[in-house]
Amino acid sequence: MQKILHILLLLLAFHVTKSGAQTQDERWTSYLAPGLVNDYLEEGDKLYVATDAGVFVMDKTTRTVLEHWTKRSVGIPSNRVESIRRDAATNRIFIGTYDIAALTVQNPDGSWENIPYPEALTVNNIGNPVMTYCLEFDDQNRAWVGTSHGLMRYEETAGEGAWTLFNEENTGDFLRSVWDMAKTPDGRLLFGSHLLFGTNGDGIELLSPVGPNNNPFSELFSYSDSKVHAQADGTLWFFTDVGSYGRYDGNEWHVVTSADQPEITFHNLGFLTEDATGALWVNLGWQGFVRYDAVNDTWEFAEPVTDTQVEAPSGLYFAENGPVLFEQGKMEWHDAAGAVLETTSLGNYPFDGLVWRMEADQEGSLWSLESNHTGRLRNLESGAVIDVSINGEPVYLSDFAFTNEGKLWAISGKRVIRQTESGWEYFDYTNSDLPDSYGFSHLTIDSDGRAWIAVYEKGLYRYDDANGWKHFNHPAIVQNFVIDLEAGHNGQLWLSTWYNNVGTRLLLLDGETLSVYNPELGSNYWSLSKLNFDEQTGRLYGAGSGLGYWQDNAWHAMELPVDLGTNQYLFTLEIAGDFIYAATRESLMLFDGSEWQVFTPQNSPLQEYDFYDSGLDALSGRIWVTYNSIRAVDVYQTDFLVNTATPGNHLNPFIVTLSPNPTTDLAIIAYELPSASAAQVTARIYNLQGAVLRSFEWDGSAGKYRQELNLSGLEAGVYLVEIVAGKLRKTSKLVKH
């Protein structure tokens, strides 16, 4: 009941069902938290903060977020914003997005438009995407952009824009990637590439110090990143990625290598900035902050503020009123003396860590593991948590599954853990027949409620209460790598396996009988990476380098809407009645029974990162997507008919249908009891506040049933119908007109 109430409250909070058709934008919800602060723009009472989760427009007086510009909120092409500047001539804000080959501009009326990069830059780098690193305006209000393939200048004349490209091919200098820019007090622009360059009229010139024979590579050279800075007193700085740096005092260069100051190393330079006194501050990652002492020409460890709760700063900015420190998902404001004034949260990301390994419970509600919490599972819709521990200590979890009664099984290293009425019980080689071996994977519960796991090079292990653990070490299992497990009919287990020079095989374990099939999908390891058994049709769906299903001892290929090529494969597959949901690491594909719909980062709010995991919550009909390396979640509301979905691992399948749905005053609930499940069957109707509005009781004998639900007197709206027969339980959504 507690789980049902969580789901009810969530449905209320997210307004899963709305009157009328939803637009594509209304269907998406994005949860973001910045991990990196890349640039700032301070204007009057506003501070614009460019991050890897969009741009935050801050009110410096109230220290609150006024606006959050993202793909979802304003339609910018990417949330990975590297730079932000305003064109003083047109009053337009320009942003450079890291992974989209275009400048994005906010016009004075608030509308956004893209200015594509020159064709010469993008066409010549097919297969090697152009990355944007930095942006600055010169004194003629021309925009200069640093990219992974050269330096560009953009200027408008009579309303027409034109690009000028500077790179190794047309300058004769070693000018490739341009990672950083700075503006000197006299208006000159500096460009941090493998070497240091600067503007010279309409062109550029090499500024790096030169060694013997005018060799610029012998002094300072950066391989994959560089930082530049121009201090208020005119001092120029050029930092390389190998720990050396150069300081130009207006007359000569002073070059320092790691060997010159071993106590302070600049290999891990994160960011640098200048305070109100003109002192240069550099963050060196785990080493902390160092400040340059211009009088003694030395660096010293120092703290930019007197009080802070920030442990891993991702940015430091000296605003007019005092320092501002940035950390994952927050800003810490300080007064002029460095004392903390306030902490402002950035973004709306609801989790503490990265979300991965999504699995549905017996009701179809989606759960996941959370990277910052050992042994914790979180329900993505309700926020409910399950903490798994052994002897009071949390344990690392790698896979999990739920029984039909809602009890949890999980894998933790060389142990298998299960939830009991009295707590947690574990099995390993010390108290069971499980091997003393790593490589436990693919925890699955079959239709008889038995737990299965695969152990690398050992075979399969199955647990039931009557007989404990049983080992299946057939050579076809032991000698091949088990890719996935999936429960089938009547205690059957399906496996997909792979072995070098043999390719993909499909196995069916029925009791003691093992059948091996060759669907002829090739030798690609990912040919059959995901299995999903559809109880209603008896089809075993398989996904990987393609999509299809196994039925009547034959493989039936299904046409996909996109060409996966050689680098992509399907890693998620869900079947919900006639609906199919599949995902690669960079796209979502939905099939409604007649046609496919495809979502990518180019046509939706999805992030420009590889997907970490994705899953379908069968109760809400929402698809959740998480990403590698960043704290971001995108959620899409589908039109999947929730009450036709078969949730979880198909445990003792309890098929329940409601019709008609939507309805008026009468609905028919149809269900089948495979055996005498209980003395009686109970059905309850809840509103979205969790209150029981109607209750019905029927006989619990085996058989097929059609029962009436009287809805007269209930207001039009969305309700949840729960039906319970002993250990069988199902919850479905019902709409009343």
- Give 310-342 pLDDT, tens digit per residue: 999 999 999 988 999 999 999 999 999 999 999
> What letter would DSSP give residue 715?
P
Beta bridge partners of 647: none
Mean pLDDT of 511-532: 90
Rounded (10°) CA dihedral 298, 304, 307, 313: -110
The burial of 319, by beta-carbon neighbours within 10 Å (0-12 exposed, 13-18 middle, 19 or more buried), is given as middle
Q: Which helix (H) or strand (E) covers residue 18, if one does?
A: none
CB under 8 Å to 79, separation ≥6 — which residues?
A: 32, 52, 53, 54, 70, 71, 97, 607, 608, 632
CA dist., res. 151 & res. 195, Å (int): 13
Residue 13 has pLDDT above 50, yes or no: no
User: What's the chain's average pLDDT?
Assistant: 89
* Band of residue 691 on the pLDDT scale cut at 50, 70, 90: confident
Q: What CA–CA distance (Å, rounded) separates 445 from 87?
A: 61
Chain centroid, CA 527 distance in Å: 24
644 pLDDT more than 80? no
- Predicted pLDDT at 15: 33
Closest by CA position to 106, among listed 153, 150, 43: 43
Strand order in the sheet with 102-106: 81-87, 92-97, 102-106, 112-116
Q: How far apart are the first and last CA of the chain?
A: 27
- Return the pLDDT at 24: 57
Distance from C-alpha of 377 to C-alpha of 356, rounded to nearest angstrom: 10
Q: What is the pTM of this model?
A: 0.82
Hey, what amino acid is at 87?
D
Asked if residues 195 and 173 have their Cβ atoms less than 8 Å apart, the reply is: yes
Section 62-86 average pLDDT: 95
Q: Which two tokens stand for residue 737?
A: 């007109």
Q: Give the number of other CB atoms < 10 A from CB of residue 28.
A: 18
Helix, strand or coil for residue 180?
Answer: strand
For residues 615 and 663, give the distance between their C-alpha atoms in angstroms, rounded to a whole number.
29
A 10 A CB-CB count for 211 gives 13
Cβ–Cβ contacts within 10 Å for residue 397, how many? 23
Q: Residue 67 pLDDT > 90, yes or no? A: yes
Helix (H) or strand (E) holding 440: strand 440-445
Query: What domains sit in the chain, N to C, each tagged with a CATH number?
Result: 656-736 (2.60.40.3080)
Residues 259-277 pLDDT 10s: 888 888 898 899 999 999 9
Whether the CB-CB separation of 635 and 624 falls below 8 Å is answered with yes
Is 625:615 a contact under the CB 8 Å cutoff? no
For the segment 396-423, the average pLDDT, to the nearest whole number, is 93
Spell out the long-range contacts of 242-245 with Cβ–Cβ below 8 A and sequence spacing 24 or more: 242/267, 243/267, 244/220, 245/220
- Using pLDDT thresholds of 50, 70 and 90, give the confidence band for residue 417: very high
Residue 294: per-residue pLDDT: 93
The pLDDT confidence band at residue 127, using thresholds 50, 70 and 90, is low
- Evaluate if residue 406 carries a pLDDT over 90: no
Q: How confident is the model at residue 641 (pLDDT cuts 50, 70, 90)?
A: low
Peptide bond into 662 cis (omega under 30): yes
C-alpha span between 326 and 317 (Å, rounded) = 8
pLDDT band (50, 70, 90) for residue 125 = low
- pLDDT, residue 2, reads 33
Whether pLDDT at 16 is above 60: no
Give the model's pLDDT for residue 126: 58
Determine the pLDDT at residue 704: 86
Q: What is the pLDDT of residue 648?
A: 42
Map residue 711 onto helix, strand or coil: coil
Under 8 Å between Cβ of 449 and 466: no
244: helix, coil or strand?
Answer: coil
Rounded to a whole number of angstroms, the CA Rg of the chain reads: 30
652 pLDDT exceeds 80?
Answer: no
DSSP for 104-155?
EEE-TTS-EEEEEPPHHHHHTTTTS---EEEEEE-TT--EEEEETTEEEEEE
> Residue 736 corresponds to which tokens in the numbers above?
């009343």
Residue type, 621: G
Q: Which residue has the higher pLDDT, 59 or 656?
A: 59
Determine the 3-state secondary structure of 40 from DSSP. strand
